[in-house]
């Protein structure tokens, strides 16, 4: 059986995303809410409100895609941002 890394380590799924002026608020299936600065993602930081709100959560719930911006992010990336992964490696 082929399972993703997200499934193997039992990551929570993305349920909903909302936006404030400078942050993305990600609601997860385990009850957590993550606030991510839009500045971390230049394509999102420069997008209009309408573009930000046109996202698609993947069927598995582990990823999110903005078709109009060609941006893809994952719950793993939200929980383990790139900077943290580099420091611990």
53: domain CATH number?
Answer: 3.30.2020.40
Instruction: State the total domains in the chain.
Output: 1
3-state helix, strand, coil in the chain (%, to 5): 30, 30, 40
Query: Using 50, 70 and 90 to split pLDDT, how confident is the model at 27?
Result: very high
Spatial separation of the C-alpha atoms in residues 68 and 66, rounded to whole Å: 6
Q: What totals of helices (H) and strands (E) does the chain contain, helices first?
A: 5, 6
The 10s digit of each residue's pLDDT in 33-88 is: 999 999 999 999 999 999 999 999 999 999 999 999 999 999 999 988 775 444 43
What pTM does this model have?
Answer: 0.80
Angle among Cα 15, 20, 22 to the nearest 5 degrees reads: 115
User: What residue numbers bound the domain in which 73 lies?
Assistant: 5-88
């Amino acid at each position: 059986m082929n399972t993703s890394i997200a499934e193997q380590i039992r990551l929570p799924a993305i349920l909903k995303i909302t936006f404030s002026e400078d942050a993305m608020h990600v609601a997860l299936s385990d009850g957590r809410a993550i606030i991510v600065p839009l500045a971390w993602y230049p394509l999102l930081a420069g997008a209009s409100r309408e573009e930000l709100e046109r996202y698609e959560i993947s069927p598995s719930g582990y990823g999110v895609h903005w078709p109009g911006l060609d941006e893809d992010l994952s719950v793993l990336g939200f929980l383990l941002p790139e900077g943290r992964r580099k420091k611990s490696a």
